[in-house]
Amino acid sequence: MCGRSISGHSNNYIVQYAGDMAGELRGIEVWIHDQAEASQTHNKGFYGIPQPGGSLKLDLMEAIYLAETGRLEVLSEGQKTHPADLLRLAHRSSEGFEIRYLVYRELRQRGYIVKLGRPPLDFRVFPRGGSPNKTPSKWWVAAISERSTFDLGALLANLDHTSDVRKKLMLGVVDEESDVTYYEVRRVTPKGKVGAVDFTSQVEGVIMADRALVNDDQGARSLHSGHFFGKQIGPMLQLSLIEAAFLVELGVLKLKDAKSNRSVTLASLKKRARALQPDFDLRLSAFKDMKGRGLIVKTGFKYGSHFRAYEGDPGRQHARYLVHAVPEKYSTMWPEVSRAVRLAHGVKKEILLGRVTEREVEYVSLSRYRP
């Protein structure tokens, strides 16, 4: 294979495949004029856009990949250069090009046909064996640096865009060693098998520092059976502050202060809880929504999340979801998201971000994906 070259002193460059085929780089587009070579290049991988007269127009992403894989040569004034010079040219003309190129390259190496998408999404990816003219694209892909901010609002906007045209949204996150990790993003409607909370009699309990205690044996059994509120400690039942607030609001639980023996209202209980847990209201909103969906909800602390959610009896099945309650305008760094997804995958659960808004709680699933 011959070397390759590009001159930085002109907007037009000569592009040449191995053999006699020549083309021309005009700005950030490569034109292959030889009809036979243009047809062969397009038919073997659907690179470029065929033009009237038989020529082929390649975008710079395609041209760099073809040059890197030895199927394209770039000459300027008879001098040969490396594909890295084309990458530098692209970097100067388009911010973040190198991140997008690494995702494009990786998907092409996996055997997929990849075409540029419409911003803010970067690529349309077609299933193996398909073609842009005959087969609908399978995924719309966003290429992201691990150093970028994870913005849930922007992510959901992209998800809405892909859902409107019945595509799947896939994120290609590039780490500092240029490896790509893929995530599939979906909206999820979790649903359990437990009916609404309905107790005929009120249960009494006491509030301690960061939990409530029900010491009535019959009351403890009524709260724990069916909905599995709290944890049984012998004949007693210990409830989390979120469970206690939920049950007090329903009128099922009546609390007194363990020290003063004075009644504790829902407002004072929430005030205590916020002092211990500033995001208590956010978590409580997600908890109430999941209970309304028939799920059994327990703490997710041991798994690094707010909750773990069961579709049925926790004694007979594992939690399906790990749920993290987040505000409407939630953002974080990608390593935090990667850690949460990896941990959930390691314990065979699905991580959900429960986005709490004034109107509803919507659930977003992120899962590792191998295309």
Rounded CA-CA distance 116/118 in Å is 7
Rounded CA-CA distance 135/28 in Å is 27
Q: Count of CB atoms within 10 A of residue 227's CB? A: 19
3-state secondary structure of 49: strand
Rounded CA-CA distance 70/199 in Å is 73
- Please tell me the number of Cα atoms within 13 Å of 197 on its side-chain side: 27
Residue 308 phi, psi dihedral angles, 5° rounding: -120, 140
Read off the tokens for 118. 């419409």
End-to-end CA distance of the chain: give it in Å, rounded. Answer: 31
Question: 138-170: string of b/e by CB count within 10 Å (b at 16+)?
Answer: bbbbbbbebeeebebeebbebbeebeeeebbbb
Element holding 153 (H helix, E strand): helix 152-164
Question: 214-225: string of b/e by CB count within 10 Å (b at 16+)?
Answer: beeeebbebbbe
| Active site (catalytic) residues | 310, 318, 349
CB 2 within 8 A of CB 17: no
Cβ neighbours of residue 301 closer than 8 Å, sequence gap 6 or more: none
Q: Tokens 């030889």 belong to which residue? A: 34
